[in-house]
Structure 1
Amino acid sequence: MLPATVTVDPAFVVGPVRRRTFGSFVEHLGRCVYTGIHDPEHPSADADGFRGDVVELTRELGVSTVRYPGGNFVSGYRWEDGIGPVEERPRRLDLAWHSTEPNLVGVDEFMRWAAKAGVEPMMAVNLGTRGVQEALDLLEYCNVPGGTAWSDLRRANGAQDPYRVTMWCLGNEMDGPWQIGAKTAAEYGRLAAETARAMRMIDPDLELVVCGSSNSAMPTFGAWEHTVLTEAYEHVDHVSAHAYYYETDGDLASFLASAVDMDHFIDSVAATADAVRAAGKHSKRTNISFDEWNVWYQQRAESRPPSGDDWPIAPVLLEDRYNVADAVVVGNLLISLLRHTDRVHAASQAQLVNVIAPIMTEPGGRSWKQTIFHPFALTSRHATGDVLRLAIDSPVTETARFGEVPVLDAVATHDPDTGEVVLLATNRSVTDAVTLDVDLRGFGALRLLEALTLSNPDHTWTATADDDTSVAPRTNTSAKTADDRAYAELPPVSWTIIRLGRA
């Protein structure tokens, strides 16, 4: 047993828990849309062809926002192809994923699905093959009540009321050489600033996300954000961050410490944004939209798109099957996002269904929860109020990638209205359990409401359509409270949620 102590005090507030932290992502990629959220032949499908079982799982997952329609897909997307009578919509080549896009689902269908699922839409505009005018056309279609060409066309297509979309992404990963219409930082920064300025002429209250570097390993990282924000700082509200993690060469210890990299990534982007703020003498602060994050095994065969003359509709792509260790890492990444709630104002786990996703479906058949579903759903459901800054005293473990890292990582939330305190904790040790001692004296007497732990002696266990419940979070019977303290034993490779309430 490795001893670790945590001190939690209501006075040390990082910032509010932001509902937009629990966002997701739906891209026209693989089976995310077609046979994912949309499957007209499914027994649960509604009049719009949307699967009712997926809508219910989306609600259970606790998703707040959904980014749409991409991703790499958006950089070649003509949004007009996806409106009007379905039978008249063209099929197009999707160059991003070497597929055929049938345009059976477009803006109007997605907005109806978002309403059914109870999520806030977060739209992305194409700044790869298109530009300012096309972004303005889409904004007019979505947000203007009527009386103009595009808004009246929306009304003719069945949506009398405007969608009033607030959050907009100005392109996607525009420094990536894989991106259709990839640009230099100066080229993109100028285009993003021009697009943002024009969009605000229609609606000054929009929240706009400018593209950060595609990931922190890019040679452009840091310098890209500085150049882009120098051009666009006054016109945008957030800069995007994207990161994916996976276990390499059996290095489980480094994989379990992935949140160390996310912490550093967030701190670096925030520092760069603040440097531009200082140099430009700007009064406002630009924050972070971490609008792509997850575990993704990018080198596996299922991540390779078709090639040659094969341009299928909704091929099986990026359908990672997640194990217990993957779920522990996802839980720890959520801890990192919450810990940075002062700067991370939105986030989107990529993606929602089938494609590197917490929800899986069979075409016309069953749906089930992957292991990563559980830490996301429980965190979204129970993390409310304020995020608290913790004092953690933890033993360390050695990793090949990050050196020595704390075995225990944790964050806590406190809801002043209900008095509930929620502690989220990860044991990163591959071999040893942790004895957790939590000092709660700043709250007065608290009682244990619930303690759940996700772990398994076989950390490679994966869920299937036949069995997605054998390794779900279970009651941690070691958890208890006494004398203004809480105690629990955390098994190796585990994620735990402990809920405490007023005595």
Structure 2
Amino acid sequence: MAQARISVDPDRPIGEIHRRLYGSFVEHMGRCVYTGIFEPGHPAADEHGLRQDVMELVRELGVTTVRYPGGNFVSNYRWEDGVGPVAERPRRLELAWHTTEPNTFGTDEFMEWCRQADIEPMMAINLGTRGETEAVELLDYVNGTASTQVSDRRRANGHPEPYGVRMWCLGNEMDGPWQVGHKNAEDYAYLALSTARAMRMVDSGLELVACGSAAWEMPTFGDWERTVLDLAYDEVDYISLHRYVDPGTQDRASFLAAGVDLDRFIEGVIATADAVGAKHRSDKKIMLSVDEWNVWRLSEWTAIEGTFDPDDWPEAAPRIEDRYTGADALVVGGLLISLLRHADRVKAAAQAQLVNVIAPIMTERGGRAWRQTIFHPFAIASRIARGRAYDAVVASPRTPTERFGEVDALDAVVTWDEDSSTGSLLALNRSLDEPVELSAALGGLGVSRVSGARIIAPTDLDAVNTADEPEAVVPVPHEVDLVDGLATTVLPPASWLAVELA
């Protein structure tokens, strides 16, 4: 049997794991909001129309922060449409996803949902069709403490206290020609800079995210980040990157190695940001916000994207409701390992999206809610992988892929929280046909026992969870031995393991 070894130097942590790394994303797209988190009249809805069956699953998932309201949606969004008496809110054409937006759910409803879910809101502002004035007015509505026309409007709408949102995204995917208000790098950089300066005049303590490239395949990648940061370095705190992995465009072995791709993307953005920082002779480090990431059968979406009836603008029409497989769950587990491995610079992340739209949670209109396969690795990691991330030095057999050549069969990361004396080992066996015997030397961290271990090892990598069969793919207990700080176990082919350490 192939053998892999892990060693950890307790004196060389990667960095603190920010709670925002376990974020998610709610966009006015498809059924994410309407019949997802919000469905007045549903048997499980409260007086605000918020589905409490979904709320329970969100809490179980362990989401810490949510980016809202988009996404492509935000680049044509008038935030004023979504506040005030519901009966007076206008219906609008929603250009990004070719639907009608009823605006019955807006900023105040989202903040109430965040309050109930104990989630930190991350707000995105429209820099596609709007600019500095509208951004400052939204900031005043959300956080304003002075008596102004805008903040008084929030009070008149029944919300006397400011919401205190700290993190704000300066637009969305502005390098993408699909984006309403798409701009070149220079035009976006000047708008982001002037908007950031205006917002900081209201509140100097905000954390601001500049748009990076929507994907590293974009022809603008690298030059875009360099141009934006060269102008806005002193005014922004984060640069964003988005990564979707499409299983339909690669062999399965490459798909399971998607973390290799994410690692390269993250490290490329870090290198670009640090080069700009060196040019500016700055001690400041720009952090990364991976505020959209997931598995997405993008090739299926692009095949139908241009086929919508120009005279038909449905409301809350289904959009990209991917049904996730056992293989998808393994890849999500691997992407989480990659994010944790860069915990020194990735200080925010948002799995996209939360409900129905390429989501870990699915619902029926008026009916049931259930966990997709990708729910499980996220829920486990968000619960046990806290504190500091440590670079797991892996000596592993290699496995072949068409896209990346030979890669390590075993990918892993170790975390340890000194305050609670608990930690985790997350490991992915990327090999489709070979088990791996694993030994991990963890005693240097103070590990003395394994308090639990669960594994996702689907017998059918194409199995999906449905409302009728919601547990086709679930984590199951797994045996891990620990003697004198050395943990040993066997990972079956194509499996993701989470070990709780204490």
TM-score calculated relative to the size of structure 2: 0.98
User: 8 Å contact 1:24–1:349 — kept in the other structure?
Assistant: yes
Tell me how far 1:444 sits from its aligned partner: 5.0
The amino acid that maps onto 1:147 is S
DSSP-derived class of the 2:497 partner: strand
Tell me how far 1:9 sits from its aligned partner: 3.4
Q: Which residue of 1 aligns with 2:362?
A: 360
- Counterparts of 1:375 and 1:356, CA distance in 2: 15
The amino acid that maps onto 1:466 is D
Call closer, same or farther: CA 1:303–1:75 in 2, change over 3 Å: farther
Tell me how far 1:405 sits from its aligned partner: 0.7
Q: Deviations over 1:160-202 (max 9, x none)?
A: 0001110000000001000000000000000000000000000
User: 8 Å contact 1:367–1:465 — kept in the other structure?
Assistant: yes
Question: Is residue 494 from structure 1 mapped to residue 490 from structure 2 by the alignment?
Answer: no
Question: Is residue 381 from structure 1 mapped to residue 402 from structure 2 by the alignment?
Answer: no
- Counterparts of 2:384 and 2:447, CA distance in 1: 20
Q: Which residue of 1 aligns with 2:136?
A: 136
The amino acid that maps onto 1:145 is T
Call closer, same or farther: CA 1:166–1:77 in 2, change over 3 Å: same
DSSP-derived class of the 1:213 partner: coil
Tell me how far 1:457 sits from its aligned partner: 1.6
Question: Is residue 473 from structure 1 mapped to residue 469 from structure 2 by the alignment?
Answer: no
Tell me how far 1:418 sits from its aligned partner: 2.6
Q: What are the residue-to-residue correspondences of 1:136-215 with 2, within 5 Å?
A: 136-215=136-215
DSSP-derived class of the 1:248 partner: helix
Tell me how far 1:391 sits from its aligned partner: 1.2
- Counterparts of 1:448 and 1:302, CA distance in 2: 46
Q: What are the residue-to-residue correspondences of 1:112-123 with 2, within 5 Å?
A: 112-123=112-123
DSSP-derived class of the 2:292 partner: strand
- Counterparts of 1:336 and 1:300, CA distance in 2: 26
User: 8 Å contact 1:295–1:330 — kept in the other structure?
Assistant: yes
DSSP-derived class of the 2:291 partner: strand
Question: Is residue 392 from structure 1 mapped to residue 368 from structure 2 by the alignment?
Answer: no
- Counterparts of 1:127 and 1:97, CA distance in 2: 18
The amino acid that maps onto 2:240 is S
User: 8 Å contact 1:7–1:438 — kept in the other structure?
Assistant: yes
Tell me how far 1:439 sits from its aligned partner: 1.2
DSSP-derived class of the 2:298 partner: coil
Q: Which residue of 2 aligns with 1:21?
A: 21
DSSP-derived class of the 1:377 partner: helix
In terms of mean alpha carbon deviation, does 335-344 or 438-447 score higher?
A: 438-447
User: 8 Å contact 1:427–1:493 — kept in the other structure?
Assistant: yes
Call closer, same or farther: CA 1:303–1:106 in 2, change over 3 Å: farther
The amino acid that maps onto 2:126 is N
User: 8 Å contact 1:303–1:319 — kept in the other structure?
Assistant: no
The amino acid that maps onto 2:419 is D
The amino acid that maps onto 1:248 is G
Q: Deviations over 1:370-409 (max 9, x none)?
A: 0000000000001121111121100111111111110000
Q: What are the residue-to-residue correspondences of 1:295-374 with 2, within 5 Å?
A: 295-300=295-300, 304-305=304-305, 306-374=308-376
Question: Is residue 69 from structure 1 mapped to residue 65 from structure 2 by the alignment?
Answer: no
- Counterparts of 2:473 and 2:221, CA distance in 1: 38
The amino acid that maps onto 2:71 is G
Residues paired across the two proteins, number: 500
User: 8 Å contact 1:302–1:320 — kept in the other structure?
Assistant: no
DSSP-derived class of the 1:235 partner: coil
Call closer, same or farther: CA 1:463–1:444 in 2, change over 3 Å: same
Q: Which residue of 2 aligns with 1:414?
A: 416
Provide the identity percentage: 57
The amino acid that maps onto 1:292 is E
Q: Deviations over 1:113-149 (max 9, x none)?
A: 1101110000000000001101011001011124101
User: 8 Å contact 1:303–1:318 — kept in the other structure?
Assistant: no
User: After the TM superposition, which parts of structure 1 deviate over 2 Å for at least 4 consecutive aligned residues?
Assistant: 301-307
User: 8 Å contact 1:4–1:394 — kept in the other structure?
Assistant: yes
Tell me how far 1:421 sits from its aligned partner: 2.8
Tell me how far 1:300 sits from its aligned partner: 1.7
The amino acid that maps onto 1:491 is P
Tell me how far 1:303 sits from its aligned partner: 7.7
- Counterparts of 1:454 and 1:71, CA distance in 2: 31
Tell me how far 1:10 sits from its aligned partner: 2.1
- Counterparts of 1:113 and 1:416, CA distance in 2: 32
User: 8 Å contact 1:302–1:318 — kept in the other structure?
Assistant: no
- Counterparts of 2:445 and 2:82, CA distance in 1: 53
Q: Which residue of 2 aligns with 1:107?
A: 107
Tell me how far 1:250 sits from its aligned partner: 6.2
In terms of mean alpha carbon deviation, does 102-111 or 307-316 score higher?
A: 307-316
User: 8 Å contact 1:303–1:317 — kept in the other structure?
Assistant: no
Question: Is residue 438 from structure 1 mapped to residue 423 from structure 2 by the alignment?
Answer: no
**Structure 1, unaligned runs of 5 or more:** none
Call closer, same or farther: CA 1:302–1:363 in 2, change over 3 Å: farther
- Counterparts of 2:9 and 2:424, CA distance in 1: 12
In terms of mean alpha carbon deviation, does 415-424 or 289-298 score higher?
A: 415-424
DSSP-derived class of the 2:327 partner: helix
The amino acid that maps onto 2:482 is T
DSSP-derived class of the 1:172 partner: coil
Q: Which residue of 2 aligns with 1:34?
A: 34
User: 8 Å contact 2:17–2:344 — kept in the other structure?
Assistant: no
Q: Deviations over 1:212-247 (max 9, x none)?
A: 011100000000000011111100000000010021
Tell me how far 1:493 sits from its aligned partner: 1.2
Tell me how far 1:61 sits from its aligned partner: 0.3
The amino acid that maps onto 1:377 is A
- Counterparts of 1:270 and 1:445, CA distance in 2: 32
Tell me how far 1:451 sits from its aligned partner: 1.0
- Counterparts of 2:203 and 2:95, CA distance in 1: 32
User: 8 Å contact 1:4–1:435 — kept in the other structure?
Assistant: yes
Tell me how far 1:419 sits from its aligned partner: 2.1
Tell me how far 1:302 sits from its aligned partner: 9.1
User: 8 Å contact 2:329–2:373 — kept in the other structure?
Assistant: yes
User: 8 Å contact 2:416–2:445 — kept in the other structure?
Assistant: no
Q: Which residue of 2 aligns with 1:239?
A: 239
Q: Deviations over 1:54-95 (max 9, x none)?
A: 111111100010000000000000010001110111000001
- Counterparts of 2:340 and 2:428, CA distance in 1: 14
RMSD of Structure 2 on Structure 1 (CA): 1.2
The amino acid that maps onto 1:354 is N
